[in-house]
């Protein structure tokens, strides 16, 4: 198993480019199942999660070819409607094939994703609303078995603005007969991106960017080419890498509007930024403590919570970070404590006392974003930090060590 060895503390300088967003491409890749014509996707990031869903598509019969930075998906001849446990267990987003399979083939069998390190993560909102669209759903042997005579438009109201449920239902509704209205949808930029992709294939969707989507079903989609948005979470991770190392770097390849609220939060802590059309430059990095809680977009994202916690260990004063989306998303805390961070946990609240002088130690990744937090902490730690189980990091950060080393970090991957 690979590990990262990081020598710190480090100063960074220059510009770092983010990849296309993993969480935008995962639903888009599921969405290719809706289309009997080829779909060409540009600049897919080379990530474990992306490769997992591509493998799943291949198992279902999708033909995949690559030419330069374009990957083409041909779902004209689907041979199976089964998303098997072995792949779904490694990546929960596999549940997103349910809507497309059901809508186009009237049948789907998808392994129940089960819990994961950060929480139980049920899919009740997905399933109860597919039933309202006319699906018959049975849970058999650890699988969701879904059938329909043809999905029919309906009025849906999500009990919580779940990102995955919004994506799954939107994709189901695209080929459903009639009009589907979905209220209380998630507002994350990746939802808009999926909607624009579906529209480019010929779907009829109104209300993009608002909390109510209206989808008028169409009979068939058409060939298209698409490139997803830049990865806002990767971008925030690198902005925090700049801040934690006291370095005024530029992070490029993302839309600053997608991270507006978090930039405001970092400004409240004392940071200053210069914004370009597709980049953010840190202008000042003198920070003070903050009290923040995670919430659905446009609030502070749970996917940046661990990284912010690493940052607050280096900031003067007592910070309070509350996790409101997932029940078990503080697994980075004991690892940060091993480096010397002073953090107290009280239920879903973490109290961080800063600044602490961090010292390198062997530590372990527990989930994707926790891993990113450990890298940030290691950049600010004195001496050598060994980060184990980096396969978690490889799920969502493309060439992380190459990108940070190009700015002056000292990170080695040991195979
Ligand atoms: C997506 C992101 C993930 C991010 C999360 C929250 C992808 C591939 N993953 O995950 O990185 O952390 O959004 O921004 O885009 N819930 C239910 N029932 C459901 C669905 C969700 O109770 O049917 C709960 C979950 O357990 C969780 C909360 O709702 O507590 C948010 O989940 P959701 O928005 O669905 O997140 P994901 O789509 O799984």
Would residue 365 show up in a list of annotated catalytic residues for this protein? no
CA distance 176 to 240: 43
Pocket test residue of 96, 160, 237 for ligand 1, highest count of atoms within 8 A of CB = 160
Ligand 1 neighbourhood includes 165 CB (under 6 angstroms): yes
State the residue for tokens 């919570």: 305
Give domain 3-19+230-414's CATH superfamily: Enolpyruvate transferase domain (3.65.10.10)
| Identified catalytic residue from 5, 87, 116, 137 | 116
Which two tokens mark 27?
């639903």
Residue extents of the structural domains in the chain: 3-19+230-414, 22-226
| Per-residue model confidence as pLDDT tens digits over 73-131 | 999 999 999 999 898 888 889 999 999 999 999 999 999 886 677 777 889 999 999 99
- Cis previous bond, 107, omega within 30: no
- Rounded CA gap, 288 and 270, in Å? 6
Q: What's the 135 CA to ligand 1 centre distance in angstroms? A: 22
SS3 category, 45: coil
Please name the helix (run of DSSP H) or strand (run of DSSP E) that holds residue 144, with its range, or none: strand 143-147
Query: Using a 6 Å cutoff on CB, does residue 124 contact ligand 1?
Result: yes
Is 160 close to ligand 1, i.e. is its CB under 6 Å away? yes
Q: For the chain, which residues score pLDDT lower than 70? A: 114-115
CA–centroid distance, 360 to ligand 1, in Å, is 33
pLDDT for res 115:
62
Q: pLDDT per residue over 177-207, tens digit each?
A: 999 999 999 999 999 999 999 999 999 999 9
283-308: b (≥16 Cβ within 10 Å) or e? eebebebbebbbebbbbbbbbbbbbb
- Is any atom of ligand 1 closer than 6 Å to the C-beta of 129? no
CA separation for the pair 177, 81 (Å, rounded): 21
CA pair distance 87, 227, nearest whole angstrom: 25
22: CA distance to ligand 1 center in Å?
A: 15
Q: Strand 70-74 relative to strand 107-111: parallel, antiparallel, unpaired?
A: unpaired
pTM to 2 decimal places: 0.97
Class of the CATH domain delimited by 22-226: alpha beta
Cβ–ligand 1 contact at 91 (below 6 Å): no
Question: Which residue minimizes the CA distance to atom 15 of ligand 1?
Answer: 23
Measured in angstroms, how far is the CA atom of residue 173 from the centroid of ligand 1? 20
DSSP characters over 339-377: TT-EEEEETTEEEEEE----B--EEE--SHHHHHHHHHH
Domains 3-19+230-414 and 22-226 belong to one CATH topology: yes
């Amino acid at each position: 198993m690979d590990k990262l060895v990081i020598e710190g503390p480090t100063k960074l300088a220059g510009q770092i480019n983010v990849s296309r967003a993993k969480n935008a491409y995962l639903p888009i890749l599921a969405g290719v199942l809706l289309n009997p014509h080829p779909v060409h996707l540009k600049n897919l990031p080379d990530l474990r999660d992306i490769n997992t869903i591509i493998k799943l598509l291949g198992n279902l019969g999708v033909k995949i070819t690559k030419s330069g930075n374009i990957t083409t998906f041909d779902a004209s001849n689907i041979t199976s409607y089964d998303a098997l446990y072995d792949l779904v267990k490694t990546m929960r987003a596999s549940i997103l094939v349910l809507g497309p399979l059901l809508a186009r083939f009237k049948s789907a069998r998808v392994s129940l994703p089960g819990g994961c390190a950060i929480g139980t993560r049920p899919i009740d909102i997905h399933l109860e609303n597919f039933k309202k669209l006319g699906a018959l759903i049975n849970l058999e042997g650890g699988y969701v078995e879904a059938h329909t005579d043809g999905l029919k438009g309906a009025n849906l109201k999500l009990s919580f603005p779940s990102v995955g449920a919004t994506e799954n239902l939107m994709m189901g509704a695209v080929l459903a007969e009639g009009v589907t209205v979905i209220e209380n949808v998630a507002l994350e930029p990746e939802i808009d991106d999926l909607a624009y992709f579906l529209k480019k294939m010929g779907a009829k969707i109104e209300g993009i960017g608002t909390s109510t989507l209206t989808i008028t079903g169409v009979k068939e989609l058409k060939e298209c080419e698409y490139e997803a948005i830049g990865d806002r979470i990767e971008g925030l991770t690198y902005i925090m890498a700049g801040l934690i190392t006291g370095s005024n770097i530029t992070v490029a390849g993302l839309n600053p509007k997608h991270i507006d609220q978090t930039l405001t939060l970092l400004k409240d802590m004392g940071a200053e930024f210069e914004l370009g059309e597709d980049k953010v430059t840190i202008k000042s990095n003198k920070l003070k403590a903050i009290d923040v809680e995670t919430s659905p977009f446009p609030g502070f994202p749970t996917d940046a919570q661990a990284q912010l916690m690493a940052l607050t260990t280096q900031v003067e004063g007592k910070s309070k970070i509350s996790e409101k989306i997932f029940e078990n998303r503080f697994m980075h805390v004991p690892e940060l404590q091993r480096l010397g961070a002073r953090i107290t946990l009280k239920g879903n609240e973490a109290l961080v006392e800063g600044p602490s002088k961090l010292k390198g130690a062997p530590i372990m990744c527990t989930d994707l974003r926790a891993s990113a937090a450990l890298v940030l902490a290691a950049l600010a730690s004195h001496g050598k930090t060994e980060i184990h189980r980096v396969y978690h990091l490889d799920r969502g950060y493309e060439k992380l060590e190459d990108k940070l080393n190009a700015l002056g970090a000292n990170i080695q991957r040991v195979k």
